[in-house]
């Protein structure tokens, strides 16, 4: 009896808390899953949809919207029309998808919104829905492994004079860190791309699982990984700086903060930077302008020497510079003396998905020009997306600090 009273009171509290949302739970109702389909691992814990078939790699979406006229799913560049049943529930099944993580949106009467069935993933500058197509055994390296020690990802706010505001960053600290109170660690600064944020590498990229596995297996040396925000995060009416200024923030505010907060090795041989997409551009801007601070760099699907690859000069009025001219002028002439470059930088890692714009030609030209410590990595069958970047990190991190 006590137990029943107890439960009644609990229900009363829940009703208070949920009164505001009473009409809203419809979107999360369960429905039986078709044969072969499983809830996507990006779903909130009470949602069965979106559901994924790991064999066929198809996905089924489900939205409760009785009064809407048109409901669509926008996934991987294709807009799917959903079909309404008599209860006002809209569903559709997609084409087979590439494995890995994909953003998507639901369009309700032409308004793109987040699907309430998934966790939020910040992408394209809004909190977006996500779906994960399982990669099978190949994806073991980015899934949680209960049999190895795990690092912690620390959520930290630090003051930036340049930003004029506190900034949020995430810092991966390897599992062994606190067991070795006198040991100092090398640091990788790992940047996200346009429209995403400092949570991207841990949430979408599963970098914690990747690093835990690489370190536990001895493939990578234990290191600290710093993931800062690549934007100037103030509201538009008080923004004092542009996104280009983040390279200044990294060098003048962030690195000193990290070096005074953690047991880091502070020499340039113990500091690397890498980034994806726009973060690749920020990496080359930061590292090549501060060669006294970094000896290792990586760009994943990232900007790499803008003029190369046949893109013409501004306005198209001038003849495009030759590949050699581009190499010699890129980044204020950093490649012009290949021997000096080879001495200065331990690694220039360039990665891309095979289904996106490809820098292979530039890499070959750089090698032919005499740049030696260059590694070129391709992710088979993927485009400008997170599976490309998970694979890139998995290949890149073991090469560092050795």
Examine residue 136 and tell whether it contacts its own copies (CB under 8 A). Answer: no
Q: Which is nearer to its own copies, 77 or 136 (CB)?
A: 77
Give every CB contact of residue 139 below 8 A, 6+ residues apart in sequence.
99
Instruction: State the nearest-atom distance from the C-beta of 5 to its own copies, in Å.
Output: 4
Q: Where are the beta strands (DSSP E) in 309-399?
A: 347-353, 374-379
Q: Is the dihedral of CA 287, 305, 193, 359 positive or negative?
A: negative
Examine residue 283 and tell whether it contacts its own copies (CB under 8 A). Answer: no
Structure tokens at 137: 């055994």
**Which residues 297-336 are close enough to bind its own copies by CB under 8 A?**
301-303, 305-307, 311, 313-314, 318, 329-330
Q: Looking at 245, 259, 356, 378, which residue binds its own copies (CB under 8 A)?
A: 356
Q: Which is nearer to its own copies, 76 or 375 (CB)?
A: 76
Instruction: State the nearest-atom distance from the C-beta of 402 to its own copies, in Å.
Output: 27
Examine residue 77 and tell whether it contacts its own copies (CB under 8 A). Answer: yes
Rounded distance between C-alpha atoms, residue 103 and residue 115, angstroms: 11
Structure tokens at 374: 């260059």
Q: Which is nearer to its own copies, 287 or 295 (CB)?
A: 287
Q: Looking at 86, 237, 242, 260, which residue binds its own copies (CB under 8 A)?
A: 237
Q: Which is nearer to its own copies, 232 or 371 (CB)?
A: 232
Q: Which is nearer to its own copies, 14 or 269 (CB)?
A: 14
The DSSP bridge pattern shows strands 187-191 and 271-276 to be parallel
Instruction: State the nearest-atom distance from the C-beta of 333 to its own copies, in Å.
Output: 10
**Which residues 146-165 are close enough to bind its own copies by CB under 8 A?**
146, 150, 152-159
Q: Which is nearer to its own copies, 157 or 337 (CB)?
A: 157
**Which residues 375-394 are close enough to bind its own copies by CB under 8 A?**
384
As a dihedral over the C-alpha atoms of residue 378, residue 383, residue 386, residue 392, rounded to 10 degrees, the angle is 10
Q: Looking at 89, 97, 105, 352, which residue binds its own copies (CB under 8 A)?
A: 105
**Which residues 176-235 are close enough to bind its own copies by CB under 8 A?**
178, 181, 193-195, 202, 208, 231-235
Among 321, 385, 308, 356, CA closest to 76 = 385
Reported as type and span, the H/E element at residue 204 is none
CA 395, 400, 402: angle at the middle one, nearest 5? 125
Binding mask 17-36 for its own copies (x = CB under 8 A): xxxxx-xxx-xx-x--x---
Rounded distance between C-alpha atoms, residue 370 and residue 336, angstroms: 10
CB 390 within 8 A of CB 210: yes
Examine residue 45 and tell whether it contacts its own copies (CB under 8 A). Answer: yes
Instruction: State the nearest-atom distance from the C-beta of 277 to its own copies, in Å.
Output: 6
The DSSP bridge pattern shows strands 59-64 and 71-75 to be unpaired
Instruction: State the nearest-atom distance from the C-beta of 232 to its own copies, in Å.
Output: 8
Examine residue 63 and tell whether it contacts its own copies (CB under 8 A). Answer: yes
DSSP summary character for residue 33: P
The CA distances from residue 378 to 158, 266, 382, 384, 388, in Å, are: 36, 31, 9, 12, 8
- Which one of the spans 91-99, 115-123, 334-342, 393-401 is the region binding its own copies (CB under 8 A)? 115-123
CB 113 within 8 A of CB 78: no
């Amino acid at each position: 009896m006590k137990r029943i009273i107890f439960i009644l009171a609990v229900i009363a509290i829940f009703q208070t808390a949920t009164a505001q949302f009473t009409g809203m739970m419809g979107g999360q109702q369960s429905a039986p899953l078709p044969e072969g389909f499983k809830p996507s691992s990006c779903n909130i814990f009470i949602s069965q949809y979106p559901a994924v078939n790991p064999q066929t790699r198809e996905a089924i979406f489900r939205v409760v919207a009785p009064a809407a006229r048109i409901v669509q799913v926008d996934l991987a560049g294709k807009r799917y029309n959903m079909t309404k049943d008599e209860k006002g529930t809209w569903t559709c099944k997609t084409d087979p998808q590439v494995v890995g993580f994909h953003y998507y949106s639901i369009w309700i009467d032409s308004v793109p919104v987040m699907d309430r069935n998934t966790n939020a993933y910040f992408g394209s500058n809004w909190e977006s829905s996500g779906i994960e197509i399982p990669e099978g055994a190949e994806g073991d390296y980015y899934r949680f492994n209960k049999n190895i020690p795990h690092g912690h990802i620390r959520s930290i706010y630090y003051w930036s004079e340049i930003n004029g505001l506190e900034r949020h960053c995430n810092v991966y600290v390897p599992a062994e860190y606190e067991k070795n109170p006198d040991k100092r660690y090398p640091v990788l600064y790992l940047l996200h791309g346009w429209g995403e944020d400092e949570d991207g590498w841990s949430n979408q990229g599963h970098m914690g699982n990747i690093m835990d596995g690489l370190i536990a297996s001895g493939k990578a040396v234990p290191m600290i990984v710093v993931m800062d925000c690549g934007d100037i995060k103030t509201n538009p009416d008080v923004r004092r700086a542009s996104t280009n200024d983040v390279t200044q923030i990294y060098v003048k505010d962030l690195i000193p903060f990290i070096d005074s907060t953690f047991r880091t090795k502070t020499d340039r041989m113990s500091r690397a930077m890498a980034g994806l997409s726009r973060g690749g551009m920020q990496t080359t801007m930061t590292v090549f302008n501060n060669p006294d601070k970094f000896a290792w760099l990586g760009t994943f699907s990232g900007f790499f020497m803008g003029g190369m690859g046949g893109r013409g000069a501004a306005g198209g009025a001038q003849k495009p510079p030759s590949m050699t001219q581009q190499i010699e002028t890129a980044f204020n002439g950093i490649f012009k003396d290949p021997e000096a470059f080879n001495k200065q930088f331990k690694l220039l890692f360039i990665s891309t998905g095979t289904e996106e714009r490809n820098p292979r030609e530039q890499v070959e030209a750089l090698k032919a020009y005499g740049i030696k410590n260059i590694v070129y990595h391709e992710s088979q069958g993927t485009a400008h997306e997170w599976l490309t970047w998970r694979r890139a990190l998995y290949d890149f991190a073991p090469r560092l600090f050795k």
